[in-house]
Amino acid sequence: MFETSHVLGALLASSPLLAQAWSHCTHANASNSSFVVEHHDDTVYVAFSGTQTSALSSSVAGGELFGPVPISTGGGQELFAPLVGGKGDDAQPVLVQAAALRLFLSLYNSSEFRLLVSETGSRSVVLTGHSMGGCVASLVALHFLCSSAGSGSPSPASLLCITFGSPLLGDDALSRAVLRERWSGRFCHVVAQHDIMPRLLLCPLNSMPPRLVTSVTDLMQSWHFAVRYPGFSRPSFRLSDDQRTELHRFVGVHVAAAEQQQKSPYRPFGNHALCSAEGAACIDDPLIVVKLLHLTFMADPGSSSIEEQHISYGDLVAEISQNVLSKKRIRIEEEPTRSSGYSAGVSMALEASGIRIQDMGAAEARECLETRMWRRPNMNCASLAIKLAKVTPCRAQIEWYKTLCDDDMGYYDCFKHRKAAKRDAKVNMNRIKLGHFWDGLLAKLQDNELPHDFHRRSKWVNAAQFYKLLVEPLDIAEYYRCKLHETRGHYLPHGRARRYEVFDRWWNEGEEEVREAATWKKKKRSKFAGLTQDSCFWAKVEEARECVKRARAEKNPAKLAKLWDSVSGFEGFANRLIERKEVSVDVMAPRSSYSLWVEEVKELKLKRASSVLVGVER
């Protein structure tokens, strides 16, 4: 195992990206426009001003402008369609910061934005912004990504969004939607160790004491003046020691509460570069980001000050870059008891984020990073892939069983009637093992232990579909063999396992490329399918046989007509499947339930025709 967060941070710091992005942010903050566009080599940099929101600082006490609103507000339904179009567990509305959405919609409806779209179309684009400018940059990036996902307006060929000291933008639904769409790598949020702005919205602003409201408001106005007029000397506003201690305690306590109890509606998304003078650590797990936002903030600030951190990203970026270029290394000998390469990597990540060995939260931060490897959804996904390989022989044995039974009565009826007790018992054991595997997988997915786009990954969608087509007929056979339909009712409405309904939804809601990559394409078949394409076909056969049985004894003309409608409906359905060759050869086996049903229907039709003829003669 390797801890790579500090490696990614070093890679980022050694590139010119951060320095160039911050340079453009300073130009945007000092300008009179909402954004500036500058070209650097083949890349277009678009920097959004963080000073356009100075009027908002007076609203910290009420928190209404920093409160969450649906992203669909004011026309966002169309602008962010992939984000608001979640289904199933992702159907809850996406909430974003009201102030940021208001600024974005104002920008979107301007003529300057239309020029921006035309200038960035089919280009490599870096969107950047400081403070609230970073929130606007993130919304513009999300809009561009949503447009490229559909057939909307022209969008950049490649896109990266870099923010500096930006407040949190959206809630957990936005974080999950970004993960679902695989857009996390498009966002890099740079956060200084003791900058309160990226942490402020994890606090309940409505409960902030009036004296703290005054302190934060004064700080925001001071920051605004410093970045808006960089030619002047920085303002002399300073918090008193008591104000600084109270603000530090308020932010620290509520960020810790947000990590444990999730009281704040806001959650991180994308990658966060947690920076200190020693380096940067890039983290993409939202839960770990919140925890480290707390632990890094509570570490000893040394000579840094809350007043300066939010507006000193230029100095911080230069210092980090210099440390990386000078190949500074952590002194591993400070921890003689930890000799593994992984532990050394964790130590370097902690140092890069600003947590020293002697800091109070160092042990907790180390545990957080060390357990992160095993809690990571991608790690769980890789572990599941190994488990899938281990249960694949169970699936293969069921396939062999099906092949052996195809020529006689088909594997559905062989399993239902238990023609070969020993062989059928082994198949039943394999059926149960496969069911346990897939039920465990769904439990992990429900507990958010797997990637949020897991149900869109073709590997798993196709594996689930194949499992369903192969094994569900056996579940149906077991249901009717045990005569559960006599006590519970037929399989489809009363006996179908939840996993099959979930797999149906995965398949039907899957992306087009998943279906195109599947082995069963919607083309005219030249031979019968390996597996019947309706996994519930045999349940429908059982219901149809029940209808025929009841029709034989039914005397009421109205009820008999209804039964015949059901029989004719299934007959048409089955004939269409057979005509398109979407059934397996076992369906037409001489002694299969379907073949028996066909004979029963023919016999019943002859009997019905005879009775009609007798009636006419009379």
Q: Which residues are catalytic?
A: 131, 195, 310
The values of phi and psi at residue 191, to 5°, are -130, 120
C-alpha 57/C-alpha 462 separation (Å) is 52
C-alpha 250/C-alpha 348 separation (Å) is 29
Eight-state DSSP code of residue 166: P
Q: Which residue has the tokens 């269409």?
A: 576
Q: Which residue has the tokens 């890679």?
A: 11
Q: Which among 490, 496, 520, 493 has a CA at the least distance from the CA of 583?
A: 520
Three-state DSSP class for residue 38 = strand
C-alpha 558/C-alpha 615 separation (Å) is 18
What is the longest distance spanned by two Cα atoms in the chain?
114
What amino acid is encoded at 119 in this protein? E
For 368-433, give the secondary structure using H, E and C: HHHHHHHHCHHHHHHHHHHHHHHHHHHHHHHHHHHHHHCCCCHHHHHHHHCCCHHHHHHHHHHHHH
Q: Which among 134, 159, 136, 135 has a CA at the least distance from the CA of 147?
A: 159
Q: Which residue has the tokens 């029963």?
A: 600
C-alpha 246/C-alpha 239 separation (Å) is 10
DSSP string, 491-518: HHHHT--HHHHHHHHHHHHS-HHHHHHS
C-alpha 52/C-alpha 30 separation (Å) is 10
Please give the structure tokens belonging to residue 431.
């059926």
Beta strands in 83-205 (DSSP E): 95-97, 124-130, 158-164, 187-192
- Through-space distance between the first and last CA atoms of the chain, rounded to whole angstroms: 89
